[in-house]
Amino acid sequence: MDLSGLYETLSALPKGDLSVWQSFFLKFYQAWFANGRWQQYFKGLASTIEVTVIALAIGVVLGVIVAMVRTAYAQRRPGTHNPVLAVVDFIFKIYVTVIRGTPMMVQLLIMGFVIFSSSRNTTFVGALTLGINSGAYVSEIIRGGLMSLDPGQAEAGRSLGLGYIQTMWHIVIPQAFKTILPSLGNEFIVLLKDTSLISVIGGKEIVYFAKAIVNRTYEPMFPYIITAVMYLILVMAFSYLQSLLERRLRASDRR
Amino acid sequence: MIDVKNLTKAFGDHVVLNDISEHIYPGEKVVIIGPSGGGKSTFLRCLNLLETPNAGTITFKGTDITDPKSDINKYRQKMGMVFQHFNLFPHMTIMKNLTLAPMKLLKKSKAEAEETAMELLGRVGLADRAASYPSQLSGGQKQRVAIVRALCMEPEVMLFDEPTSALDPEMVGEVLDVMKSLARDGMTMVVVTHEMGFAKEVGDRVLFMDGGVIAEQAPPAQFFADPQTERAKSFLAKVLM
């Protein structure tokens, strides 16, 4: 007997006559197969990945810029004064403080319902908010990595006559990258899971579609469990890629 | 060659260098000795502005390099530096360590830079380690590579910041030998060290630094045989035994 036939037969029976497994099957069928609903989850999944990638790109670009400026300012040559750098450093400091000091959810509500209240592209507003949020954390991770490297490395570069940017690019960043990769990976996993929050401002991703299905079937168990499994698979796949990259980077200096 | 005038450096309230004036002549081998905390390393690091002086000027071949408008990177190319902890770049092979700066700054081609590097590596007996990573080398080998890295920039002065202090005793000799041959070739050298034997053998002049000033200076033969100040006498009594 095929699944839809079984579903027809079972749903025709009175509820009290069904075994536990039969009612589980009914609920699962409703949550996954009925009306091609499984496509909804994959639509949500694709949207979740899209939002993550956009937010990631914004976060990394912002994070790198903020970290570079703040490190350059912290390590400036004593006695020199660069007013532009000082002002930009101050602005970035406020940015990091505000973003890290307020909850993600509140930032989303303010962006979605105050700043971009007239925007219809709520998914993009959500991705933008996540990116701005992630940028603050990424910048602190990168800054920590750059500042924690043995100062002797930068000194050796500078003593050869390399400029600040050349020293950063060839000597400091390649080494710092290796040390920050685990925390960066962690931050990306947090970001991926935080995309579920954008449904509060109407952003469309897995949770949004799962909620819609619950509203149709009045059965919350399977839609939300399916959602959880999808996140879990995404995170596990990402962790695997990260561990591959880490192993490769480690191989280059421990031969 | 390097003229230091009224150099003062303080970290917070702690004055490390107190109004030092000194001149280093071309071809001269100046050895700086003295107790820890006396300002030796800080003095050396001020010469290529790894530490920024609070006051005073440093003139390198007629140019005031402490002037904020001077391009310090250009002068650093002419002043090679060797560190106590080698500071080789661990993520690069020895060859890349040696060719990075010459290719970026002297605009040498890869082949040219590698040729110079191989020749110099051969001179310190490490030609076969060009493809290794720093983590595969012993301390003495690392320091010899670090010296070669500085030499690849064809410097006019070499600054050594306690180059043998972090080495196992049996590796000190190999590094000192490289430094001695460099001295024989006529390189101008400023060496902060605790190796009194090296100071005696190679130095043209010994600077004894204590309490942020050059407490005494003399040719090594005279300094070690007949120190003038009480401080130098008690220091030598402790280190020479």
What is the structure's pLDDT at A251?
67
For the segment B224-236, the average pLDDT, to the nearest whole number, is 92
Q: Does residue B116 belong to the interface with chain A, where contact is any CB pair within 8 Å?
A: no
Averaged over B152-181, what is the pLDDT? 95
Quote the CA–CA distance of A205 and A193 in Å, as a whole number: 11
Listed in sequence order, the residues at least 6 apart from B34 whose beta carbon sits closer than 8 Å to its beta carbon are: B40, B207, B208, B209, B210, B215, B235
- In this prediction, residue A78 carries a pLDDT of 67
- Above pLDDT 90, what percent of chain B? 90
**Test mutation, A76, A81, A160, chain B, max B CBs within 10 A:** A160
Closest CB to B89 among A79, A171, A255: A171
Average confidence score pLDDT of chain B: 93
- What is the number of other CB atoms lying within 10 angstroms of the CB of residue B170? 9
DSSP string for residues in A160-209: TT--HHHHIIIIIHHHHHHHHHHHHHHHHHHHHHHGGGGGGGT--SHHHH
pLDDT above 90: residue B146 = yes
B241 band by pLDDT with thresholds 50, 70 and 90: low
In this prediction, residues B177-199 reach a mean pLDDT of 94
Residue B93 to residues A44, A156, B171, Cα–Cα distance (Å): 47, 16, 22
CATH fold, domain A38-254, is MetI-like fold (1.10.3720)
- The predicted pLDDT at position B100 comes to 96
Distance from CA of B226 to the nearest CA of A (A): 36
Determine, for residues A160 and B105 on separate chains, whether the beta-carbon distance falls below 8 Å: yes
Burial class from Cβ neighbours inside 10 Å (0-12, 13-18, 19+) for residue A104 reads middle
* Residue A9 CA, distance from chain mean position: 44
Give SS3 for B75: helix
CA distance A185 to chain B (A): 21
pLDDT at B133 over 80: yes
Q: Hey, are the CB atoms on B136 and A255 less than 8 Å from each other?
A: yes
pLDDT of the residue at A23: 86
Q: Does A165 touch chain B (CB under 8 A)?
A: no
Interface contact B85-A159, CB threshold 8 A: no
Q: Which two tokens stand for residue A76?
A: 């400036």
Kindly compute the dihedral angle of the four CA atoms of residues B226, B22, B196, B88, in this order, to the nearest 10 degrees: 180
Give the ipTM.
0.91
Is B101 an 8 Å CB contact of chain A?
Answer: yes
- What does the pLDDT read at residue B89? 96
Predicted confidence (pLDDT) per residue in B122-132, tens digit: 999 999 999 99
Residue whose pair of structure tokens reads 């500085």 in the numeric block: B150
Q: How far is CA A180 from CA A112, A140, A251, A253, in A?
A: 32, 10, 16, 16
Please give the structure tokens belonging to residue A96. Answer: 């990091």
pLDDT at A1: 58
Question: What pLDDT is stored for residue A254 in this prediction?
Answer: 54
Q: Which residues of A133-171 are buried (b: 16+ CB within 10 A; e: fewer)?
A: bbbbbbbbbbbebbeebeeebbbbbbbbbbbbebbbebb
B165 at the A interface (CB within 8 A)?
no
Return the pLDDT at A253: 59
Looking at the DSSP assignment, which residues form a beta bridge with residue B29?
B189
Q: What's the pLDDT at B35?
A: 92
What are the tokens at A221? 């168990």
Q: Which tens digit of pLDDT belongs to each residue from A209-236?
A: 999 989 988 889 999 999 999 999 999 9
Does the pLDDT at position B106 exceed 70? yes
Which regions of chain A are under pLDDT 50? 255
Flag whether pLDDT at B168 surpasses 80. Answer: yes
Q: Is B48 near chain A, with CB under 8 Å?
A: yes
Q: What are the domain boundaries of chain A?
A: 38-254
Nearest-CA distance A163 → chain B (Å): 6
* For range B93-105, the mean pLDDT: 96
